[in-house]
Each structure stands twice: as C-alpha cells, then as structure tokens.
C-alpha cells in the first residue's frame, strides 16, 4: 500500500523529522488560502501515486499569488499518467543549497533491510543507481538486531555527506529505519532531503509503502487504506478481498493463483489482445466470490470480453462449475461475453455442467484466451 | 529417486486442528504421506486426521520421530510457527501460509542461516514426490511418477504445467513450489542443485515470475553448473511496474528490475529455452527426453 | 539493585500480571487498617532483601484481627538476618491449590537469558535445582531476536503445567520476559505463581533485580534506588560513587580494583582478622575520593582498624601519596589506625612522602594486612 | 613469541579524542605499540595522539590497514562501538569500558558468534606483550619480557601478581585481562588454549574470582588439554552471597554457585596449585621454571 506524500510526511513529522510547513487543498480556493498562510515561494504538489511527478508537471513552485492560482488550476483535475489529481499539497518552498537521497528498503536477495544514502539527491535515483552505483552508499541491517546506531552514521559518512550536517542526516536515517520497522514498511524514501543555506536538513518529499500483509497489526495504517486507493475498482477489489490490478486493455481476466492469472494476461497479449486487469479470486471459487469477480469485470467500462480460467486442484472441477452456475443464476444474459476454462481434478465433469447458454467453454487455456481475444475484437469493432 | 522428500519422510502438521490443516493432513495421508503427528498449542493429547496432536513441535518430534513439518498457521502466527519448527532440527519445514509480513520473514531468514533445516515457502503449495510423499496442498492426482523435476514460484501455474506434462505421459521425480513471497527459504538454485544431483531427474522445468532476481541468479547457475537440461517459463510479461501481481513477491520495481524480459534474457543466455505458453514448455521438455 | 517485593509487584500489576490486593504498612496501626480493608486471610510480609523470609519468620498469615495485630507487632522492627524490618506488605491471602515457579535470568555461561518454569513452586528453588534439576524446564532466549511466543508456551508445557492453566502461565512468562528486557533486569522470579481453586493464576511473590550498569537508561528505576538501600553506609557509598559492600568484621578495607580489594579482604581473613567492608575507590585516588573513603570507614562503628591498599598502575605512587596526604590534612589524629600500602609505578617515592605521623606504612600487601589485623585486635581488646 | 598481539598489531583507538582515549593512546604509543588511527564520529580529518582520526572504524581500518581496536567509549555507547569494531573484520577488539549493561553484552555476544574477530573484555585492562605491544590501560613499566603467561579477570590484581613475578626476575610472554563482567568476549579457556600453543610460554598464571563458572570450566580444560603448568589464584573467598563485589560479574549467587571454594576445588582437582596470597602464586610459578 502506497501512502500519499502528505500522509507519509505526517508520520515523519510525528517522529521528529523536519518537514516543510504544508496544507492539503482540494480546490483552487483552498490552495490559495493555504498559500496565503504559508507564504512564498510555495510548492503546489499533486497527491497521486505517480513517480516523476515533477517532470510530468505535477509539481510547480509559485512565487506569487497569481502563479499560485494558475498552478493550482493547472494541477487540480489534471491527468497524471492516468490518475486524476484531486488533491494538492501546498508546501512552503525550501531555500536549499544541496539535495540528498535517503532511503530504506528490503533487499530481497539478502533478505535484509538496506539503508541507502546518496549526495546525488533531487534527481531520479534509479538513474543514479544504474549509471553510477557507487554514488549510493548502502548498509544492510540485520533484522534480528535491528539498526545499530553506528550503521546510520557509517552510511552517511560513506556517502560523503558534508561533515557539518552528517549528524543530522544520520539522525534522519535512524528515524526512518525506526519508522520502517514500526510501520511494517516495504520502502521509505526521501528524495530530496534538502540542506538549507543555514545548514538545516529538511525532508522535502516522502515516499512510504506499507506491507499489505502486515496491515492486520497496523490498525492506524489500515485506516488509511481507503484513502490510498486511487481507483474505484481497486477499492471494490479491496472490499471483496481480491488481488486486483487495473490495466489499460479490454479483455477482463479472472483466474485463481497469481502465477496462472499472470500467465493468462501474458497469453491475452501473446494472442494479440490487451488485458484489462489482473484478478485472482484465490482458491475454491465459491459462488459468492465468482459473483463478486464477475461484478468487478462487468462494471469496468473498458472490458469488452472476459476470460475465466480456473485450475481446480484440490477443489474439484464440478464444484467449481456449480459455483459458477450459481453465480450466473441472477443473469438472463451476460453484459459481456465470458469464456470459461476449467482444468484439473474433475474438470471434464465440471465443463459438462457449466451453463453454456450464458458462457463459452474451452478445454485448453490457449483456446480460451484466443476466443476471449476474438470476442473482444468483435465487441470493440 | 527424488529430492527433499520421499516415503521415509515423517511429517508433523502444525495447525492440524484448523480447517485447512485438518483437510490437507487428511489429503496428505490419503496420498500415502507418512504423517505422524500434529502440533497445536493447547490441543495436546487430542487426535486429528487420525494422528496424535502435541502442544509443541518439540514434543511431537520427540514422541513421533518426525523429520519434516508442514505449517498451516494463520499469517499473524506463522513466523512464530516457523521459528518453532526451525528450533527442532527438522530436515524440512514447509510453510504453506500466505500473507506473512515481509519483516517477519526477514527475521526467519536470519534464523535459517543458523540452522540446518530447509524451509520451503512460505506462500507455497508444497512439495510432492509422486507416489511417495506429498507435503502441502498440491492436488496429488495430477502428478505422475517420472523423470522430470519441476520448481516453481507459483501454485496453480505449477499444476497447469504438470497437467500438460502428465497428459503427454511425462511424469515427475519431484515437484516443488518455492513460494511467491519476496523472502523465501528455498531458492531456485537450491532446488536446481538438488535436481542436478538427482540421478533420476533427466530434465527440469523452472517456472519463474516477475520480481526479484532469483531467476537471473538461477540462470547463471544453470549455465555454469548444470548438465541436466532445463526449460523455463516466466509469468508476468505484461505486468506494469510498481504493482503487486497477487504474490507479494511478484512486482516489477520502479527502477525496472525484476522484469520478465530480464529473466527470459538471462535464461536464454544460459541456453534455457523459455516457452511462450505452458504447452511450449512441455514441448521443450519432450524434446529433451 | 534489588527491588522490594511491593515495588516489583507494582511493575507486574502495571504490565497486567495478576497479583493479590495489597497495601504497604510501616506501623501496626497501618497494618491493621490495611487488613481491615483487605480482609482475611491476609499475609503480613516483611519487605527486606532477604531470601527465605518465610522460614525466618518474616511472613505470617493472619486469619483474624488479633492474629494480624500479633504478627504485625512481631514482624515490624524484627531483625531478619541482620536487616531491620521497617515495612510490611499486607496482602490478601490466596486460596491456592497449586504452586509454580517462574523465573527469567541471565545464563552467564551461554550469554543468553533463560526462562525457567517448574511445577515445584513455593519451595526453595535452589534446592529443587540441586536435587532434581529435571523438575525445572529451561528455555534460552536469543537476545537478538528476543522471545518468540512459542518459547513461552514450550517451557510451560515442558514443565508439565496443567493444560487448563498453561496458556495463562505462558502469558505470565511472556510478560515477565518483556519486563526483564524493558527494565534491564538481571533476574525476575515469581515463586510461587499460585493456581487458585477457580484455576486463576496469581503472582504471589516477586523478586526483581535490576542491572545497576543500566540505570542510566532506566530513570524510573533509578528513582527507586534510594528506597532500595537498606543500610545508611550503603546509601552513602552510592552517593560517593563507590563500589561498597558492608560485612560483619572490624577491619575496614579501602583499595582500588575489585579483584585486588577482594584479595585484601581474603588476606585479612587469612591472617586471622575479619573484614568490615569491601570498598573500591577506583582508579587514581584523588584527594576527594580518599577523603570520602576514609569518611566511610571511620563512620562505620564496627571498624576498629583500616588497611588502605593501592596499586598505582598508570597513576604514579607519588601522586597517590599526595592525594592521601591532602585528604589527611583535616585530621590532627585519625580516629582509627590506618595502614597504607602503595605499589606499582613510583611506589617507593610515594611511600617516602606519606604522612607517617598519622599513618602506618608497609611495603608489601601481606605485611600491611597483618599489621591492620593486629591493630584491630589491639583496639577491640 | 606471544599470543593475540605483537609488534605487527596495528591499532585503531575508538574514542581517541576523549580524555581517557587520548591519554592511553599516547601511553600505548610511548610503549611502542603500533597505534595507526583513531575513530570518533564527527572528528574525521582531525589528529589525536599524533595519529589521524576517522569518522568510522571502517574508514580507519580501510585507510590505515588496522587489525585491532581498543575501545574507550562511555558505557551507553560502548556496545554500539563494539558492534562497529566487529563489523570490520578485525583480528582483535579490546573493550576497556566498565559498566556496559549486561543485556547489551548479551547481544554483542550473539554477534561475536557470527564473526572471526576476538573480543577482549569489556571491563578489562587490556593485553600486553612486553616489549612489543600494549593494548589497553595496563602500566607498561611493571611488565618484563619472559616466559610466563598470565590471564586474569581483574586489573589491579593482575598488576599485583605481575609485580611479584617481575620483582623475582620472572618475565611474561603475554598478560591478558579478560574482564570482570558477567559476559565477556574472551574466556579463560580461550587464553589458556593460546598459551598452551605458544612455544615460549613455560608456565601460566590464572587469576580468577567469584561469580560464574568460567574457572571451573577452565580447570577442566587444564586437566584435559594442558601440558604447560598453571598456578591459580581466586579472589573473593570472603564474599557473601548475593552481593556484587565491585565487578558486575563478581557475585556468588543465592544458590551458592560461583563460590571461591568451588573454583579452588576445581583447580586443585585439575592439579593446579592455588595460592592463598599473590606471593604464593609467584612461589608456585618459580617452582615450575
């Protein structure tokens, strides 16, 4: 789960990390009220989960009220890489002389959190990592011991941070690690940490991603989950308890098991179609879950055709078929063509009893996907 | 032969009195697995799935001489259950549970380095040596005894590929789901190394997916250390960056590491043919035999 | 630092461990008021740091007001193994059917904390440990990971605790470990944990010792330090910053370095004397510290003679001698005979300038101790 | 020869800009020790005791090729300083600091098991190989080069015994203070094992004290594994149970473990004569040579 910049900064501020003064605004008036209070220069920052907001025009610095109004009008409601900006953070502009990058993330290969500090902050850190990996100092943290204080210092000194601010930056690194651990984060990133002409350090941006699997023990963060959704269908999937990702194509995909659903997406692409979503309904395929899954794909206006791919496994194919039929009992006609493919234990028995008045049925994954792609082409033609 | 499990494996089921645990314990027993005990705190002295239940894994291992564990424990308690299993010097612990917090698994991973126990998973379907033992939730009936090893990060995708193989009359030595989480106990390399050493495994299927760099490392391992031919499959070619595709570990990072392309390239570089469809994987394997 | 039972129980109660109702009393009236409120049976328990209080008569159970008065009178003011009882804890008597032992301590050999549980509670656990070590279940905790929940359960089940209370006892074990860690304890012991006829578990006694070296980060516990002293001289040593232990002999001992001071005590004994104290003044022996050390031994009424043994080491003997002379400048005559022995760097120069009008001086440790023992015999004769 | 340190030892001093650190760094250098750097966060680029100071131990080791560290850091920060030293793969770290919380040292002890670095101390005077190197706060002038090894839990008691030896013309190969805390990095056995292997050490003094069971274990080790004769001393015969005698580790438990009697008996059982006075220890050593 990705937190918005303003949410992450709230958490930072509570932990004692210096952040600029800021206010949230959902309209141009609110933005102007905020900027009147905060003063100039003021940054107006789109609150959407999109990398490279600045380059894409989602962050502007206003030096007077006219600029503030222009920028607020520009940004509020703009489409940023597919997301509509509904909220901006109006933030006091920081007069900085230097920018650092500071991050904490999980190094999967090592199975350990890693601290990262670079003096090449303020730019795309991925590019820095790719082009001059030595410009990023790294320090792995042993998850049993947690962070030793010397490690925060070491990564800061190794990065070559100026001596006069090294202590303050180490203190930010240390606090970020504490937050990483306490909040079950998967990633925390501040890019840039700004160094002002007075040699103060300020966290000028904030990225904080939370491990969804840990929300059960992070009740405060779980409350933010709803605000974190940026798409009504993703919100709905969250309510239904589905793993769901919205994509830009027109073939809706329902399946069980992450690897098999991904494979189904890939095959849609392979056979010339474009997947509209990833939707994993998990094991079993009980009627209620099938009903909800169909609701998801049917209510997505981009979807022209659906492929439903279930590998039965322990759950027998005839039981899966019964669940599907029960879910279909509310329909006289399906709003979009659906092709079903059952496999695994008792798959043939299952396919025999499927309601073929409403559904197309195919025996192989390849055939089912090809037919769904054709259906989509026909509908959208 | 086989790797990791066979008919000498003696299994304790952690969480055997829960719905999932009991059902799959019964399924394992029905398949012929040597399930010898269950372990559930507070349920010691009871019986479940026809085997005695102990309060601790320690007591179960002690009393029934178990050497492997299968863990069906809810995510909030699963890491503790894994630590408990690792504390008893088992040969193998299989963690089925999906949804264990990553930071818990980082701690487990640290402990793993201190023990001789192999952990499989978490968030995995388990392991099966057809006709001998099944530890986990895999549907036994789709597997057949044979000479192809299979290792996969995904459950149902494994079934799909196995189904394609079995339908062609190609059986398996052992099939292993290593799990879809970012931090897992047994890597592709661990499994590949064991298959390479197994004299009965004549070819191996490796099903990877987006996220992390395990497949790239495995590709290098295959290129440098394996004579047994390997055919690959990589799921998630169409996954957008920054989105978790069902599995907690299946995510292409913003920086573009963990892409299907990178994995497919690495495998191809190591001489491993990668199928565009599961059927194509079966074609490659058939060509090896 | 040893906490009193009532202090430890306060900490337990705050952490959610069930303890009996209780009140502190410093007089018979207060004790009777307390018992009137708490009811019968009531335990009247001496609050002194003495093991085996019960056997020594420091704990009595009153079943009516007359008994309560008798016992309170008996216990308040009594001498318990050398300590005067000034406070009693009046505590609701628990109607128990079973007694367990639960403890957490540092296993020095392993360098790890160890949990201990035994169903043979309520008796001297040291005897249980010596006679039937298998009656105590043990579980080591990895200090980097901290306690895994399964370990608390495991040690309880391994001890053979009844199944119906095992969960509650495991929960006490787990909380005790948390307290052990959070309070920098060196030892926590509850003996007994009582199991009532209703199958409730209650911590009926409480031992909690704190690592003195960690008091700098345990401000709340540091505040209890003063209450924890049971001897004015020990309190004074605390103020002076000396390592000090009061003993029952009449030869006062001042020295530097724990091993050498212990050796001096042992030699006093070896040569037929009896040490009155252990007093380590640490490195250097500056005048102020010497003054304070002399004040300690002179103000101890048991002390008849003093031996002052300093091994100079890096600090030169002549500097040590100057410090001693300076400390003596306030005295025309010493209240008790003092023998000084200096060794190490420049020891001879030091001994030459020592004020021999006030002090006896010896060149070897053995001679100095022998002379101090003789002095003590003369004084006490 | 010698054990653990010699004139090839290259020392970084952690906390070299503090009062103690600077004084003893100078003393070590004066003694002839190869002190090559200091490490103090925020003081990188400065100079102290005539050597360059770095912000981290890592940087000091890297730049000056140090292989040992001496730690003069206040108790609240000392465990962190030890972890930092252990992280740089030194051969030896000597922690002088007294008063480190025991639970901090339990964590350090865990890490020690994961590294190849030897930790000496904490709460110890250090180690000296007379005429070659001194790491710590021992007064160099009382030592003399010779053929007796010495290992002790106490500082000034060490000096006392060494003084008795040197006055008789008996010099030392190496003298080691292992420290007076309950949890320490180098045990009696570690030092005895090294002395046994050192061809120039012809006899060993072992000064123990009350608390713990290290002396008992060392006695068993001597009985089973040592040909080099050992003379012992045990301080604290008159210590009452339950009282901490200066050293955090010098405490006879309520249950009566850790008594001087038990240690003396164990040593005697292993054929080790135990002196009643420091002079008697010197007598025993003289008789061995």
Q: Name which of D100, D138, D236 is nearest C213 (Cβ-Cβ).
A: D100
Query: Residues of C annotated as binding site for ATP?
Result: 45, 52-54, 91, 94, 99
Under 8 Å between Cβ of D76 and C216: yes
Label residue C332 exposed, middle or buried (CB < 10 Å: 0-12, 13-18, 19+). exposed
Angstrom distance (rounded) from CA A160 to CA A154: 10
Q: What is the ipTM of this complex?
A: 0.94
CB–CB contact A150 D83 (8 Å): yes
Kindly list the domain boundaries of chain A, sorted by start residue: 21-92, 96-222, 232-380
Burial call B71-108: b when 16+ CB within 10 Å, e when fewer: bbbebbbbbbbbbbbbbbebebbbbbbbbbbbbbbbbb
CB–CB contact B45 C163 (8 Å): yes
pLDDT at A226 over 80: no
Backbone angles phi, psi at D107, to 5 degrees: -70, -45
pLDDT at D1 over 80: no
Under 8 Å between Cβ of D228 and D195: yes
Angstrom distance (rounded) from CA C135 to CA C158: 10
Going by C-alpha positions, the residue among B248, B235, B154, B151 that lies closest to residue B195 is B151
In SS3 terms, chain D reads as CCCCCCCCCCEEEECCCCHHHHHHHHHHHHHCCCEEEEECCCCCCCEECCEEEECCHHHHHHHHCCCEEEECCCHHHHHHHHHHHHCCCCCEEEECCCCCCHHHHHHHHHHHCCCCCEEECCCCCEEEECCCEEEECCCHHHCCEEEEEEEECCCHHHHHHHHHHHHCCCCEEEEEECCCCCCCCCCHHHHHHHHHHCCCCCEEEEEEECCCCHHHHHHHHHHHHCCCCEEEEEECCCCCCCCCCCCCCCCCCCCCCCCHHHHHHHHHHCCCCECCCHHHHHHHHHHHC
B162 CB contacts (<8 Å, ≥6 apart)? B142, B143, B150, B172, B175
Q: What pLDDT score was predicted for residue C196?
A: 96
- Are residue D163 and residue D77 in the same domain, yes or no? no
Q: What is the pLDDT of residues C71-92, one digit of tens each?
A: 999 999 998 877 889 999 999 9
What subunits touch chain B, counting only 3 or more CB pairs under 8 A?
A: A, C
Q: Which two tokens stand for residue D193?
A: 């094992």
CB–CB contact C345 D153 (8 Å): no
Q: Name which of D76, D242, D246 is nearest C261 (Cβ-Cβ).
A: D246
- Are residue D144 and residue D232 in the same domain, yes or no? yes
Q: Name which of C150, C157, C163 is nearest B83 (Cβ-Cβ).
A: C150
Q: Name which of B154, B255, B278 is nearest A126 (Cβ-Cβ).
A: B255
pLDDT at D186 over 70: yes
Q: Name which of A149, A150, A166 is nearest D42 (Cβ-Cβ).
A: A166
Residue D275 lies in a domain: yes
Return the ∠ at Cα A228 (arms to A225 and A230), rounded to 5°: 130
Under 8 Å between Cβ of A100 and A192: yes
Residue D1 lies in a domain: no
Angstrom distance (rounded) from CA D181 to CA B47: 50
Give B-chain residues touching C149 at CB under 8 angstroms.
Answer: 77, 80
Q: What is the pLDDT of residues A40-78, one digit of tens each?
A: 999 999 998 877 788 888 999 999 999 999 999 999 999
**What is the arithmetic mean of pLDDT over D79-83?**
98
Angstrom distance (rounded) from CA C48 to CA B36: 53
pLDDT at A119 over 70: yes
pLDDT at A129 over 90: no
Q: How many beta-carbon contacts under 8 Å exist across A and B?
A: 180
**What is the arithmetic mean of pLDDT over C200-214?**
95
Residue B111's Cα: distance from chain center in Å?
A: 19
In SS3 terms, chain C reads as CECCHHHHHHHHHHCCCCCCCEEEECCHHHHHHHHHHHCCCEEEEECCCCCCCCCCCCEEEECCHHHHHHHHHHHCCCEECCEECCCEEEEECCCEEEEEEEEEEEECCCCEEEEEEECCCCCCHHHHHHHCHHHEEEEECCCCCCCCHHHHHHHHHHHCCCHHHHHHHHHHHHHHHHHHHHCCEEEEEEEEEEEECCCCEEECCCEEEECHHHHHHCHHHHHCHHHHCCCHHHHHHHHHCCEEEECCCCEEEEECCHHHHHHHHHHHHHCCCCECEEEECCCCCCHHHHHHHHHHHHCCCCCCEEEEEEECCCCCHHHHHHHHHHHHCCCCCCCCCEEEEEECCCHHHHHHHCCCCCCEECCCHHHHHHHHHHHHHHHHC
Residue D3 lies in a domain: no
Q: What is the pLDDT of residues D113-122, one digit of tens each?
A: 999 999 999 9
- Are residue D201 and residue D277 in the same domain, yes or no? yes
What subunits touch chain C, counting only 3 or more CB pairs under 8 A?
A: A, B, D
Angstrom distance (rounded) from CA C60 to CA B237: 78
Bigger pLDDT: A81 vs A195: A195
Tell me how long chain B is.
Answer: 289
- Are residue B146 and residue B280 in the same domain, yes or no? yes
Q: What is the DSSP string of A25-68?
A: ESSHHHHHHHHHHH-SSEEEEE-SS-TTTTTTT-EEEESSHHHH
Residue B133 lies in a domain: no
**What rounded mean pLDDT belongs to chain A?**
92
**Site from D43, D53, D56, D109 to mutate, A interface, most A CB atoms within 10 angstroms:** D56
- Interface membership of C142 toward A (CB under 8 Å): yes
- Are residue B113 and residue B179 in the same domain, yes or no? no
Angstrom distance (rounded) from CA A143 to CA A149: 14
Q: Which fold has domain A96-222?
A: D-amino Acid Aminotransferase; Chain A, domain 1 (3.30.470)
Q: What pLDDT score was predicted for residue A282?
A: 83
Final residue in a domain of this structure, among B63, B89, B120: B120
Q: What pLDDT score was predicted for residue A284?
A: 63
Under DSSP, the state recorded for B24 is H
Final residue in a domain of this structure, among B61, B85, B120: B120
Is D64 annotated for ligand binding? no
- Interface membership of A145 toward D (CB under 8 Å): yes
Cis bond upstream, residue D122 (ω within 30):
yes
Angstrom distance (rounded) from CA C69 to CA A156: 68
- Are residue B115 and residue B20 in the same domain, yes or no? yes
D46: domain CATH number? Answer: 3.40.50.720
- Interface membership of C148 toward B (CB under 8 Å): yes
Angstrom distance (rounded) from CA A242 to CA A284: 13
- Are residue D88 and residue D168 in the same domain, yes or no? no
CA distance C202 to chain A (A): 29
**A96-222 with A232-380: one CATH topology?**
no
Going by C-alpha positions, the residue among A26, A194, A14 that lies closest to residue A102 is A194
Give A-chain residues touching D107 at CB under 8 angstroms.
Answer: 145
The DSSP bridge partners found for residue D136 are: D126
Final residue in a domain of this structure, among D120, D149, D182: D120
Q: Name which of A111, A265, A365 is nearest B278 (Cβ-Cβ).
A: A365
Going by C-alpha positions, the residue among B85, B72, B74, B146 that lies closest to residue B112 is B85
C308 CB contacts (<8 Å, ≥6 apart)? C254, C255, C293, C324, C338, C339, C340, C341, C359
CB–CB contact A150 D56 (8 Å): yes
Residue B1 lies in a domain: no
Angstrom distance (rounded) from CA C72 to CA C56: 15
**What rounded mean pLDDT belongs to chain C?**
92
CB–CB contact D246 C111 (8 Å): no
Angstrom distance (rounded) from CA B105 to CA A101: 27
Q: What is the pLDDT of residues C18-45, one digit of tens each?
A: 999 999 999 999 999 999 999 999 999 9
**Site from C213, C276, C283, C293 to mutate, D interface, most D CB atoms within 10 angstroms:** C213
Q: What is the pLDDT of residues D43-63, one digit of tens each?
A: 999 999 999 999 999 999 999
Q: How many beta-carbon contacts under 8 Å exist across C and D?
A: 181
Q: What pLDDT score was predicted for residue C121?
A: 87
Among chain A residues, CA nearest to D42: A163
Return the ∠ at Cα B48 (arms to B44 and B54), rounded to 5°: 20
Active site residues of C: 101, 189
Q: What pLDDT score was predicted for residue C315?
A: 74
D276: domain CATH number? Answer: 3.40.50.261
Report the top-level CATH class of C21-92.
Answer: alpha beta
Q: What pLDDT score was predicted for residue A80?
A: 84
Backbone angles phi, psi at A104, to 5 degrees: -130, 130
Under 8 Å between Cβ of D55 and D42: yes
Q: What pLDDT score was predicted for residue C285?
A: 66
Under DSSP, the state recorded for B240 is P
- Interface membership of A114 toward B (CB under 8 Å): no
Share of chain A above pLDDT 90, in %: 75
Burial call A113-137: b when 16+ CB within 10 Å, e when fewer: bbbbbbbbbbebbeebbeeeeeebb
- Are residue B229 and residue B172 in the same domain, yes or no? yes
Instruction: Tell me if residue D284 is catalytic.
Output: no
Under 8 Å between Cβ of C102 and C83: no
pLDDT at C303 over 80: yes
Q: What is the pLDDT of residues D247-287, one digit of tens each?
A: 999 998 867 788 999 999 999 999 999 999 999 999 999 99
Q: What is the pLDDT of residues C318-347, one digit of tens each?
A: 888 888 899 888 899 999 999 999 998 888
Q: Which fold has domain A232-380?
A: Rossmann fold (3.40.50)
Among chain D residues, CA nearest to A165: D42
CA distance C145 to chain A (A): 5
> Which stretches of chain B score pLDDT less than 70?
254
Domain of D62 in residue numbering reads as 10-120
Under DSSP, the state recorded for A2 is B
Angstrom distance (rounded) from CA C362 to CA C350: 12
What subunits touch chain A, counting only 3 or more CB pairs under 8 A?
A: B, C, D
B51 CB contacts (<8 Å, ≥6 apart)? B13, B16, B25, B29, B35, B36, B37, B38, B64
CA distance A159 to chain C (A): 28
Return the ∠ at Cα A336 (arms to A331 and A337), rounded to 5°: 95
Return the ∠ at Cα D57 (arms to D53 and D63), rounded to 5°: 65
Strand order in the sheet with B133-136: B133-136, B126-129, B172-177, B145-152, B203-209, B230-235
Q: What pLDDT score was predicted for residue A235?
A: 87
Output the pTM of the full model. 0.95
**Site from D25, D165, D238, D276 to mutate, C interface, most C CB atoms within 10 angstroms:** D238
Q: How many domains does chain B have?
A: 2
């Amino acid at each position: 789960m990705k937190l918005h910049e303003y949410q992450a900064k709230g958490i930072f501020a509570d932990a004692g990390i210096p952040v600029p003064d800021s206010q949230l605004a959902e309209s141009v008036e609110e933005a102007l009220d905020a900027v009147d209070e905060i003063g100039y220069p003021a940054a107006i920052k789109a609150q959407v989960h999109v990398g490279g907001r600045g380059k894409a025009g989602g962050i502007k610095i206003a030096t007077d009220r006219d600029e503030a109004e222009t920028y607020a009008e520009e940004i509020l409601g703009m489409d940023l890489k597919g997301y509509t900006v509904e909220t901006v953070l109006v933030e006091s502009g920081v007069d900085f002389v230097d920018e650092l990058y500071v991050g904490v993330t999980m190094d999967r290969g090592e199975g350990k959190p890693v601290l990262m500090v670079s003096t090449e902050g303020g730019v795309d850190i991925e590019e820095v990592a790719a082009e001059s990996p030595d410009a990023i100092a790294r320090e792995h943290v042993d998850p049993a011991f947690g962070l030793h204080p010397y490690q925060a210092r070491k990564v800061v000194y190794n990065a070559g941070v100026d001596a006069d601010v090294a202590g303050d930056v180490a203190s930010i690194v240390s606090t970020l690690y504490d937050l990483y651990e306490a909040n079950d984060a998967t990633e925390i990133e501040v890019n840039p940490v700004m160094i002002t002409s007075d040699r103060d350090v300020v966290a000028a941006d904030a990225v904080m991603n939370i491990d969804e699997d840990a929300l059960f023990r992070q009740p405060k963060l779980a409350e933010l989950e709803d605000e974190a959704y940026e798409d009504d269908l993703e919100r709905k999937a969250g309510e239904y308890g589905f793993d769901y990702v919205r994509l830009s194509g027109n073939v809706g995909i329902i399946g069980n098991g992450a690897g098999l659903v991904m494979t189904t997406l890939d095959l849609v692409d392979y056979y010339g179609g474009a997947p509209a979503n990833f939707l994993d309904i998990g094991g079993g395929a009980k009627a209620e879950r099938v009903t909800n899954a169909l609701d998801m794909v049917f209510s997505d206006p981009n979807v022209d055709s659906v492929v439903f791919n279930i590998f039965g496994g322990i759950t027998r194919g005839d039981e899966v078929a019964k669940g599907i039929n029960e879910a279909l009992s509310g329909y006289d006609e399906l709003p979009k063509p659906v092709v079903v493919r059952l496999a695994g234990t008792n798959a043939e028995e299952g396919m025999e009893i499927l309601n073929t008045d409403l559904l197309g049925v195919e025996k192989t994954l390849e055939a089912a996907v090809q037919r769904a792609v054709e259906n989509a082409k026909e509908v959208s033609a | 032969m086989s790797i990791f499990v066979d008919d000498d494996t003696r299994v304790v089921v952690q969480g055997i009195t829960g719905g999932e645990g009991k059902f799959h314990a019964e399924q394992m027993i029905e398949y012929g697995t040597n399930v010898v005990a269950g372990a559930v705190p507070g349920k010691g002295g009871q019986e479940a799935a026809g085997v005695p239940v102990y309060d601790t894994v320690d007591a179960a291992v002690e009393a029934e001489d178990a050497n492997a564990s299968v863990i069906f424990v809810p995510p909030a308690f699963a890491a503790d259950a894994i630590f408990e299993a690792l504390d008893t010097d088992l040969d193998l612990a299989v963690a089925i549970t999906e949804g264990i917090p990553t930071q818990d698994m980082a701690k487990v991973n640290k402990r793993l380095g201190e023990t001789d126990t192999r952990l499989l998973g978490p968030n995995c379907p388990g392991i099966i040596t057809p006709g001998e033992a099944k530890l986990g939730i895999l549907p036994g009936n789709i597997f057949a005894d044979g000479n192809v090893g299979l290792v996969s990060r995904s459950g149902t995708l494994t079934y799909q590929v196995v189904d394609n193989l079995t339908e062609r009359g190609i059986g398996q030595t052992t099939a292993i789901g290593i799990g879809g989480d970012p931090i897992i106990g047994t890597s592709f390399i661990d499994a590949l190394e064991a298959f390479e050493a197994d004299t009965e495994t004549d070819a191996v299927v490796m099903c990877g997916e987006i996220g992390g760099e395990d497949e790239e490392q495995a590709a290098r391992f295959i290129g440098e250390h394996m004579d047994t031919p390997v055919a690959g499959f990589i799921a998630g070619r169409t996954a957008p960056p920054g989105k978790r595709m069902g599995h907690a570990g299946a995510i292409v990072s913003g920086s573009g590491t963990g892409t299907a392309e990178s994995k497919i390239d690495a495998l191809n570089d190591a001489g491993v043919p990668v199928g565009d469809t599961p059927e194509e994987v079966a074609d490659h394997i058939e060509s090896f035999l």
